[in-house]
Structure 1
Amino acid sequence: MTSLSAAIRSALLTADPHAKVMTTRALVRDWRHGRLEATFDSPMPDRPAWPDYLELLHPTKMPRRGKAGSDKNRIALWHSLAHIEFVAIDLALDIVGRFGGEMERSFTDDFLSVAADEAMHFSLIARKLKGMGSHYGALPVHDGLWEAAQSTAHDVAARLAIVPMVLEARGLDVTPPTLERVRSQGDLSGAKVLQRILDDEIRHVGFGAKHFIARAENRGESPENLWKNLVETYFRGRIKPPFNDSARQAAGLSRSFYAAVA
């Protein structure tokens, strides 16, 4: 029987976006049906495989978006979202393959479900881009999300603190106004996609907060204090308002975590 970590490594090293989506879905399905061995004997790659045609730029070198509401700007928005969701597949797979052996079974179940969600989100957005006459890879992208994974590859608490509880939590703040802007432009199908992503991301941030709090308590540390220390150590940006407090609270991320470092 194939080990879970070997299956995850294979998915991470799949570069083609459609193939990565299908491999991830099959992996999660096989895990749920007991067709993968719960062992973590394969090392995770330092980087996942991405398509050769992606033009990777430093975040500061990314081109500015055009005029709000223009077709060019709308494509740039959806392309940016496609890249976020594509990298999110790898982030969810990597956290399981890298740290699943030291965590409880629910950790693996939760983050494999996240990987399946992110694969579905990417597929929805890729279809949206195709309908707009574009495709994933048509515009430059940046590597900022995976840099966060690399800097926290040694510590599951740091990974949880930065990826779901900072980066994904930021999505809870910025998605609602984006959703309203898309809806105001008459793009009801796009608004439906963003609403689905927002609903799922609340659950994803919740998984991060749940397992981070349990990890901190197992270490005999205050979750809020540990989170603040890890953010100050590993997060290069700023945590800044406005915050979607209701969505963050629904995910188990109370203001006691982020207010003091905002």
Structure 2
Amino acid sequence: MDVTEASSLGEACVAVLRCSDPRAKVMMARKAARDWRLGRLAHRFDAAVPDRPGRPGTPELLPPNRMPKRGKGGSQRARTAMLHALAHIEFVAIDLAFDMVARFGADFPRDFADDWLRVGADEAMHHALLARRLHELGSHYGALPAHDGLWEAAIETAHDVAARLAIVPLVLEARALDITPETIVRFRRFGDERTASMLQRIVDDEIRHVAAGTKWFLWSMNRAGQNPQESYQNLVRRHFRGTVKPPFNDSARSQAGLTRDFYGPLAG
């Protein structure tokens, strides 16, 4: 089913997830978010959520330990590789947002869908911006390999919304708040102000995304009568395969409501 045929929120989200063409997925994501905002979709979850979303034939997906090194120089090749990696992260992030709604939305108030569809539309816009910049630099999304670690986190947490919220927005997206400012500095050092400005726009949006994660994690903990900080730390230890490591962008994290008492005890 295409988004244009969907009458319910569940159907629209699953249509986005099943779409494999990057440009079409971007357009479908933005249309689904717009249709929900305009009241065209019923708050109903009546479509089976796929275990894996649609993916294009390229990029080739590799385990993280088989990914080629991007290098740290300021060459156009190194910059293109970095932008390609970011474009892939944003592409997968579209599906993470729509999967959040399709898989867990029935158990939450309507504004859960409001927040995550807005996140999904942002991620679609981010991917489109990065894909366009790659084209301007003589490349395209799919030209290089990419890793599938983000969706592995989705599979790991498919059974538990608290785990999904803890790992995806409050570990993975929060990590982007830590590292993207330095990436912006690097692009400015290379004289690429266009890309630096684009990345600044993206990181500003990511603060709101982490804030949505914090909001709904706290809501879930309040509903379950659990301690948010202790539960967060337990969920991360159980479901996150990497290390929560400094340096942390405490200021940006704090703006999103993710204070050091959540992640400080996990720092390794």
Q: TM-score range by the shorter chain?
A: over 0.9
Partner of 2:256: 251
Quote the offset at 1:67 in angstroms.
5.0
| 2-structure distance, mates of 1:36, 1:228 | 36
Identity of aligned residues (%): 59
| 2-structure distance, mates of 1:15, 1:186 | 35
Partner of 1:100: 105
Alignment partner of 1:60 is 2:61: no
CA-atom RMSD in angstroms? 0.8
| 2-structure distance, mates of 1:139, 1:145 | 17
- Kindly provide the amino acid, as one letter, of the partner of residue 27 in structure 1: A
Provide TM-score, normalisation by structure 1: 0.99
Alignment partner of 1:199 is 2:185: no
| 2-structure distance, mates of 1:199, 1:112 | 17
Query: Superposed, which structure 2 residues align to 1:25-36 within 5 Å?
Result: 25-36=30-41
| 1-structure distance, mates of 2:186, 2:196 | 9
Provide TM-score, normalisation by structure 2: 0.96
Question: Once the two structures are superposed, what CA deviation does each residue of 1:90-139 show, in whole Å capped at 9, x if it has no partner?
Answer: 00000000000001111110000000000000000000000000000000
| 2-structure distance, mates of 1:137, 1:95 | 25
Quote the offset at 1:183 in angstroms.
1.0
Question: Once the two structures are superposed, what CA deviation does each residue of 1:66-85 show, in whole Å capped at 9, x if it has no partner?
Answer: 35111110110000000000
Quote the offset at 1:53 in angstroms.
2.4
Alignment partner of 1:21 is 2:26: yes
Partner of 1:144: 149
Partner of 2:180: 175
Alignment partner of 1:116 is 2:112: no
- Kindly provide the amino acid, as one letter, of the partner of residue 173 in structure 1: D
| 1-structure distance, mates of 2:92, 2:211 | 19
| 2-structure distance, mates of 1:140, 1:84 | 12
Quote the offset at 1:240 in angstroms.
0.3
Partner of 2:265: 260
Distance 1:70 1:230, change over 3 A: same
| 2-structure distance, mates of 1:162, 1:66 | 28
Partner of 1:237: 242
- Kindly provide the amino acid, as one letter, of the partner of residue 38 in structure 2: H
| 2-structure distance, mates of 1:189, 1:173 | 21
Partner of 1:216: 221
- Kindly provide the amino acid, as one letter, of the partner of residue 146 in structure 2: V
| 2-structure distance, mates of 1:85, 1:32 | 22
Query: Which structure 1 residue ranges, 4+ long, deviate > 6 Å from structure 2?
Result: none
- Kindly provide the amino acid, as one letter, of the partner of residue 239 in structure 2: Y
Aligned residues: 262
- Kindly provide the amino acid, as one letter, of the partner of residue 5 in structure 1: G
| 2-structure distance, mates of 1:231, 1:261 | 8
Partner of 1:45: 50
Query: Superposed, which structure 2 residues align to 1:79-94 within 5 Å?
Result: 79-94=84-99
Quote the offset at 1:218 in angstroms.
1.1
Question: Once the two structures are superposed, what CA deviation does each residue of 1:194-242 show, in whole Å capped at 9, x if it has no partner?
Answer: 0000100000000000110111111111000000010011000000000
- Kindly provide the amino acid, as one letter, of the partner of residue 188 in structure 1: E
Unmatched tracts of structure 1, length 5 or more: none
